[in-house]
Amino acid sequence: MYGPVAPASDALDKATTSLAARYGTFVCEDLNVAGTTTNRRLTADGYDFVVVASRLPVDRVEDTADKTGWRHSPGGLVTALEPIMRKMDGAWIGWPGDAGPAPEPFEESGIHLVGIGLSAEEVRDFYEGMCNATLWPLYHDVIAPPAFRRPWWDAYVTVNQRFAQAAAEQAAKGATVWVHDYQLQLVPGMLRELRDDLRIGFFNHIPFPGYEIFAQLPWRRRIVEGLLGADLLGFQRQADATNFLRAARRAAGLPTKGSVVHAGARDVRAASFPIAIDAAALAEIARREDVKERAREIRQLLGQPERVLLGIDRLDYTKGIRHRLKAYGELRREGRLGPETVLIQVASPSRERVEQYRLLRDEVEVIVGRINGEFGELGNPPINYLHQSFPRDEMAALYLAGDVMLVTPLRDGMNLVAKEYVACRNDESGALVLSEFTGAADELNGAFLVNPHDIDGMKDAIIRAATVSPREARRRMRVMRRRVFDYDVAHWATSFLDTLREVPEPVPGRA
Ligand code: F6P
């Protein structure tokens, strides 16, 4: 850890006043919800590396009536950042995932965790509203119509401010702060106003839309300015970075040159850093005898079909699940696929209180019911549909059990399921049908690429993938495995942080 932190409290107060003027809402006191008022101040020292993400990398587990425990949730981001966090003395700021006051900061698996509390109204207006009913559909090509509600925006400002404030409190002098994703786009700007000694990076995990779509957002300029508080902006694909650069020119009227935005006294770089997985760790799980045995058991439970098609998604309208089911249903109806080819469709529950997600669930389940009703035999449904989430080992077994992986989003920042499937196929068998509208399509050259809107084209691709010769399948899989193992999550995190480190030292006062 570094020594005493730089900004004196009057500097913080000054920044607070200027933020209040800019954003209209500011919460300096009352950072906790549900009645606990605290007047937090910067601590005397802090952490050299601070991750700010909408969620904490743990799940709350209720042990007993009066005791709350936390279970490590090994998501991609925490896997990537864990080693760095330990080495650099890191803290992670995030929301525990339910309404209520923030838990006291705590240590879990060697990481210092700082919870941000959200009230029930903020969960509704910030998380379900602005994040998942405005920004999510807007940033995914308006597949569902985004709703623009001013109280949701106000909640977004308030909650982003709370995250920024917590980051300002936790970061040591000159620390690196890495902010993540669309839920927290105002944090870089707010944080810079609180602490101009920090190096700030931001990574957007989802697509950044073309300007014609982004321009619909009533608060487009505020979002662009918020993001430009960072020194480095990371996007999944070059196309996303290019879209952002255009937004900086059009929405904020700022000049750009190459990948750099000239934002007053500061230059901000926008570039692509495609996110990845811990391929070696997953491959290791898939090599385990118990996992392979479970994969054999899964196929047995399905009645030993000749071929297993597999879809694994969060139940989200961006994932193209309905299009995929339509293609599979038509292939069965036309007799191009018969009972020897079954489909496993895992659709894990997500954002269940948001209306579009409730509607989607109904639609998907009606389609599954129709196909199963039409083509099923007793004890042998064509689609094994699971509206559940599974632990990692079971996922690996499913990946091993699937001959053809169907990843058909209408839009997806990256899609890590595609990479996970490839990582698990240690024997180089299997085939991947992949939507060209995913970030993964830029990298996985051995996939059978599809436009999911073109149902006939998708049907042909499924047949080609299902009937590909073992030799050709191996050739394709080898190409994809090389990519997934060479460009793994450690490479992703290191290349982002190395690029961030190249940014000249912050000069306090030059905001
Ligand atoms: O980047 C998209 C993302 O926020 C992921 O980080 C996350 O796994 C997924 O969407 C679901 O997010 P949540 O459950 O927080 O809405």
Query: pLDDT by residue (tens digit) across 173-215?
Result: 999 999 999 999 999 999 999 999 999 999 999 999 999 999 9
Q: Which of 204, 317, 351 to mutate to test the pocket of ligand 1 (most atoms within 8 A of CB)?
A: 351
Given a cut of 60, is residue 2 above it in pLDDT? no
Q: Which residue in the list 181, 197, 278, 412 is annotated as catalytic?
A: 412
Q: Which of 159, 350, 489 to mutate to test the pocket of ligand 1 (most atoms within 8 A of CB)?
A: 350
Q: Are 347 and 406 in contact (CB under 8 A)?
A: no
- How far does residue 131's CA lie from ligand 1's centre (Å)? 10
Domains of the chain: 9-275+492-501 (3.40.50.2000), 279-487 (3.40.50.2000)
Which residue's C-alpha comes closest to atom 16 of ligand 1?
351
- How far does residue 323's CA lie from ligand 1's centre (Å)? 22
In whole angstroms, give the CA distance from residue 243 to residue 329.
37
Q: What is the DSSP letter of 403?
A: S
Which residue's C-alpha comes closest to atom 15 of ligand 1?
55
User: Who has greater pLDDT, 79 or 393?
Assistant: 393
Given a cut of 60, is residue 25 above it in pLDDT? no
Question: Who's near 389: CB < 8 A, 6+ residues apart?
Answer: 348, 349
Tens-place pLDDT, residues 363-398: 999 999 999 999 999 999 999 999 999 999 999 999
Q: Provide residues with CB under 6 Å of ligand 1.
A: 54-55, 181, 205-206, 350-351
Token couple for 79: 């896997």
- How far does residue 54's CA lie from ligand 1's centre (Å)? 9
Q: What is the pLDDT of residue 326?
A: 98
Q: What is the pLDDT of residue 131?
A: 98
Question: What average pLDDT does the structure give for the chain?
Answer: 89
Whether 412 is catalytic: yes
The β-bridge partners of 406 are 433
Q: Are 384 and 344 in contact (CB under 8 A)?
A: yes
Q: Are 179 and 200 in contact (CB under 8 A)?
A: yes
Token couple for 348: 């894990």
Which range (20-29, 58-67, 161-170, 256-265) has the least confidence? 20-29
State the DSSP H helix or E strand holding residue 166, giving kind and residue range, or none if neither: helix 150-170
Q: Which residue in the list 125, 180, 197, 205 is annotated as catalytic?
A: 205
Q: What is the pLDDT of residue 60?
A: 75
Which range (115-124, 229-238, 501-510) has the least confidence? 501-510
* Atom number, ligand 1, closest to the C-alpha of residue 53: 6
Which DSSP string do the residues of 73-105 spell out, in sequence order?
A: ---HHHHHHHHHHHHHTEEEEEE-SSSBPPPPP
Q: Which of 51, 314, 316 to mutate to test the pocket of ligand 1 (most atoms within 8 A of CB)?
A: 314
Distances (CA, A) of 419 to 391, 393, 436: 17, 16, 14
- How far does residue 475's CA lie from ligand 1's centre (Å)? 33
Sheet holding 266-272, edge to edge: 106-108, 111-115, 90-95, 47-55, 171-180, 199-203, 232-235, 266-272, 260-263, 256-257
Q: Work out the average pLDDT over 222-230.
A: 98
HEC sequence for 249-273: HHHHCCCEECCEEEECCEEEEEEEC
Q: Would the pTM of this model clear 0.85, i.e. be above it?
A: yes
Q: Are 207 and 411 in contact (CB under 8 A)?
A: yes
Q: What is the pLDDT of residue 124?
A: 98
Percentage of the chain modeled with pLDDT above 70: 88
Give residue 16's pLDDT band: very low, low, confident or very high (50, 70, 90).
very low
Tens-place pLDDT, residues 307-337: 999 999 999 999 999 999 999 999 999 999 9
User: Who has greater pLDDT, 334 or 19?
Assistant: 334
| Radius of gyration from C-alpha coordinates of the chain | 24
Q: What is the pLDDT of residue 507?
A: 67
Give residue 87's pLDDT band: very low, low, confident or very high (50, 70, 90).
confident
Tens-place pLDDT, residues 227-264: 999 999 999 999 999 999 999 999 999 999 999 999 99
Q: 151 — phi, psi (to 5°)?
A: -65, -30
Whether 197 is catalytic: no
* Atom number, ligand 1, closest to the C-alpha of residue 55: 15
Q: What is the pLDDT of residue 231?
A: 98
Given a cut of 80, is residue 56 above it in pLDDT? yes
Q: What is the DSSP letter of 421?
A: H
User: Who has greater pLDDT, 507 or 315?
Assistant: 315
